[in-house]
């Protein structure tokens, strides 16, 4: 394929490293194969959170793994593709290592980005709409700088197994996704619908987090998508300047 960087790609919820993958290496290789397949026509890539199931950067050390995935991101970023990584609710603790090492831009929270002349509202989706109190408390503890420093002061020998155990305990929640019940019942869509009323300049809303693959037309004319996941769906969105399409990755040479 000729090198023609003209598209923007969006993926989320890869959950690499999660204990529920029967074959974690294959899950990583699938993502790498996808990134390789888009490297000639991608101008921009947006990773919308929960890319890694667990990550914590220490000052002088990082967790094991993800070598192929990180290598591919570094290759694409070195090639000039602009890669943006939105922090999700699993990969919260990215500090200066991944941005520096991979050349990716890391963003915490929701933001609006102009992409090929259109206005995109991008968010992982965990901080949008109604959330239970327990979720909000955990979220603020996880993001508290002092809590992060205290956690970082404990040897990884103790924190990493603890975190992996924690992740395992939320396994059911991550795999069994409440089904999408339509625009009117989906908090992310309700949020987008309300937000669009007062932000008529937004053309597209793109979310992750929910593990469903959906595109809806909002009443103000904008479109809203939820990106699915890479546990069993292998879905993504691609924007060519005219249309935002939802697709599933079907590798030719990988079953
Ligand atoms: Mn999430």
Cα distance between residue 123 and residue 191, in whole Å: 11
Q: How far is the CA of 155 from the centre of ligand 1 (A)?
A: 26
How do the domains of the chain map onto residue ranges?
Answer: 7-248
Hey, what are 147's tokens?
């809590």
Give the residue carrying structure tokens 């420093």. 149
Query: How far from each other are the two terminal CA atoms of the chain, in whole angstroms?
Result: 22
* Residues in contact with 98: Cβ distance below 8 Å, sequence separation at least 6, in sequence order: 55, 57, 70, 85, 104, 106
Q: Which two structure tokens, joined as six digits, stand for 218?
A: 């909002």
Note the pLDDT of residue 180: 94
Ligand 1 centre to CA of 52 (Å) is 10
Ligand 1 centroid to 126 CA: how many Å? 6
Q: What is the pTM of this model?
A: 0.92
Q: Ligand 1 centre from 19 Cα, in Å?
A: 16
Under a CB-based contact definition with an 8 Å cutoff, are residues 216 and 189 in contact?
Answer: yes
Considering the four listed CATH numbers 3.60.21.10, 3.40.50.970, 3.20.20.450, 3.40.50.720, the one that applies to the domain covering 7-248 is 3.60.21.10
Task: Give residue 11's pLDDT.
Answer: 98
Centroid of ligand 1 to alpha carbon of 2 (angstroms) = 35
Pairwise CA distance, residues 53 & 31, whole Å: 14
Q: Show pLDDT as tens, one digit a residue, over the chain (255 residues).
A: 677 899 999 999 999 999 889 999 999 999 999 999 999 999 999 999 999 998 989 889 899 999 999 999 999 999 999 999 999 988 888 999 999 999 999 999 999 999 999 999 999 999 887 777 887 888 888 888 888 888 888 888 888 887 777 777 766 666 678 899 999 999 999 999 999 999 999 999 999 999 999 999 999 999 999 999 999 999 999 999 999 999 999 876 555
Q: How far is the CA of 243 from the centre of ligand 1 (A)?
A: 26
Distance CA 123, CA 140 (A): 17
Ligand 1 center to residue 48 CA distance, Å? 9
Strand pairing partners for 56? 93
CA of 217 to the centre of ligand 1 (A): 23
Residue 150 CB-density burial (10 A; 0-12 exposed, 13-18 middle, 19+ buried): exposed
Classify residue 87 as left (phi > 0), alpha (psi -120 to 50) or beta: beta
| Burial class of residue 75 (count of CB atoms within 10 Å of its CB; 0-12, 13-18, 19+) | middle
Phi/psi of residue 150, nearest 5 degrees: -65, -45
- Scan for tokens 């990493």, then name that residue: 160
Whole-number pLDDT of residue 127: 83
Place of tokens 């933001």: 111
Please report the pLDDT score of residue 176 as a whole number.
72
C-alpha to C-alpha distance for 208 and 12, rounded to whole angstroms: 5
Residue 206 CA to ligand 1 centre (angstroms): 13
């Amino acid at each position: 394929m000729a090198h023609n960087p003209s598209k923007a790609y969006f993926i989320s919820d890869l959950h690499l490293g999660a204990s529920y993958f029967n074959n974690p290496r294959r899950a990583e290789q699938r993502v790498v194969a996808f990134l390789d397949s888009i490297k000639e026509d991608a101008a921009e890539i947006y990773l919308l959170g929960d890319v890694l199931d667990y990550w914590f950067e220490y000052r002088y050390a990082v967790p094991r793994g993800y070598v192929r995935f990180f290598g591919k991101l570094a290759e694409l970023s070195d090639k000039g593709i602009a890669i943006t990584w939105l922090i999700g609710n699993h990969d919260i603790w990215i500090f200066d290592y991944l941005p520096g090492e991979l050349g990716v831009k890391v963003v915490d929270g929701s933001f609006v980005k102009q992409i090929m002349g259109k206005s995109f509202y991008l968010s992982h989706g965990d901080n949008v709409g109604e959330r239970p109190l327990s979720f909000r408390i955990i979220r603020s503890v996880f993001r508290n700088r002092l809590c992060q420093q205290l956690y970082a002061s404990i040897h990884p020998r103790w924190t990493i197994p603890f975190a992996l155990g924690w992740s395992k305990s939320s396994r059911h929640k991550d795999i069994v996704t409440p089904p999408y019940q339509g625009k009117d019942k989906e908090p992310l869509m309700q949020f987008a619908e309300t937000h669009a009323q007062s932000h008529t300049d937004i053309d597209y809303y793109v979310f992750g987090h929910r593990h469903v693959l959906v595109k809806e037309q909002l009443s103000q004319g904008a479109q809203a998508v939820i990106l699915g996941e890479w546990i069993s769906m292998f879905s993504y969105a691609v924007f060519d300047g005219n249309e935002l399409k939802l697709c599933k990755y079907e590798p030719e040479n990988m079953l």
